[in-house]
Structure 1
Amino acid sequence: MQEITIDIIGNENIEEVMDEIMKRYGQEILHLVYSYVKNKAVAEDLTQEIFIKCYKAYPTFNKKSKLRTWVWRIAINHCKDYLKSWYNKNVIVTEEESTNTSTNGETIEQTLIQKDEDHRLVSAVMNLPIKYREVIYLYYYEELLIKEIALLIEKKESTVKTRLKRAKELLKDSLEE
């Protein structure tokens, strides 16, 4: 994805900048947040809160990092704060899953088998401890480099590599059961 280049001159319209940021990064931030909270409704709410934080903090953005990295850092920190919050620990949020039907000419059996396998994989990933889940998500789903992941989660590259290796082992063990 191409990085947004915005010159901070002081006379740009912050609403236009935020509109462009939300268009470019909104969906991926939503996916990232969902990987932390495992609930679509909560993820949508947190994503809105993240963009409000970005809006308020934008004047302090100093261009030392890419804009995308800056937004992701805010999102990750917000998710971690939410996971530690009283609300998350004491309020149970329910979510109804919608079902999709296949129209690609696949048989019902193939669709059900694929859906079951996908569900098992997603469940296995979502059941990983957060430190493993986030590196799996960022590496495989967002296709970030280990160096970029290290920058985002503020850990050494060797730590990211170790967490990826351990996460894969945990997933393998979980899926073989």
Structure 2
Amino acid sequence: MPTDEELFTRWSAGDRAAGDAFIRRLFEPVRRFLASKVGAEVEELAQLTFSRVLEARERFEGRSSAKSFVLGVARNVIREHYRHRARAPVDVEEHSVADLGAGPSTLRWRRREDEHLLASLRMLPLHMQSVLELYYWEQLNAREIAEVLEVPEGTVASRLRRAKERLRGIYEGSPATAEAAEGSPADPALEQWAERLRGAVPLDPRTP
């Protein structure tokens, strides 16, 4: 089976079948990454992301994974989306998507505490939400996360630590968590939370 990088290289050279396979393989991670941060615009922004990926193909140097390259493009699509919506200049990364006016997420969960976690994530500054999702949901390593976020690799661990601390404060301060099942985002069970969250399927907003 060809790697993501091999498929991307072939797609970049004009192989449409390889491009279709590449998109099928990475569509759900992109859609999930978008769906936690925007509302009904998920499908439109996912399509835009892959169009931008092909346009930016010459920037991919193979130093990291094709997945991290694609998610980096998705991050820029999100930033552009909110900058266009803002009526004044705004540092998107320092605001939460809740503050930026994101519509209801199309992600749906089976457990109530997972809904609370998503709501808490969406109250973090965008750069904190992204670093947690990239590490726990998408299982990227420090080098890949640094590429997506365009930050020095050596800062990733401290960014993760601060983001977890902030998430814990938001989650535990929410009245909705008072009756939630035991466990918190700061517990060792965070990996189990992330595994469940990776399985959440973004609903197609066009479906009645």
TM-score, length basis structure 2:
0.64
Q: 1:22: which partner in 2?
A: 23
Secondary structure at the aligned position of 1:144 is classed as coil
Q: CA deviation at 1:146?
A: 1.8
* Seq. identity, %: 25
Q: 1:145: which partner in 2?
A: 141
Q: 1:50: which partner in 2?
A: 49
Q: 1:176 aligns with which of 172, 177, 197?
A: 172
Q: 1:36: which partner in 2?
A: 37
1:164 to 1:62, Cα distance in 2 relative to 1, 3 A: closer
Alignment of 1:54-73 (within 5 A): 54-58=53-57, 60-61=58-59, 63-65=61-63, 66-73=65-72
> Would you say 1:157 and 2:153 are equivalent positions?
yes
Measured in 2, the distance between the counterparts of 1:16 and 1:68 equals 18
* Contact 1:33/1:46 (8 A) holds in 2: yes
* Contact 2:8/2:18 (8 A) holds in 1: no
1:136 to 1:10, Cα distance in 2 relative to 1, 3 A: closer
Measured in 1, the distance between the counterparts of 2:9 and 2:53 equals 15
Please list every run of 5 or more consecutive structure 1 residues that lacks an aligned counterpart in the other structure.
101-113
Measured in 2, the distance between the counterparts of 1:7 and 1:119 equals 34
* Contact 2:35/2:106 (8 A) holds in 1: no
1:98-156 deviation per Cα after TM superposition (whole angstroms, max 9, x unaligned): 978xxxxxxxxxxxxx7321111111111111010000100110111122211221112
Q: CA deviation at 1:21?
A: 1.6
Higher helix share: 1
Tell me which structure has the larger Cα radius of gyration: 1
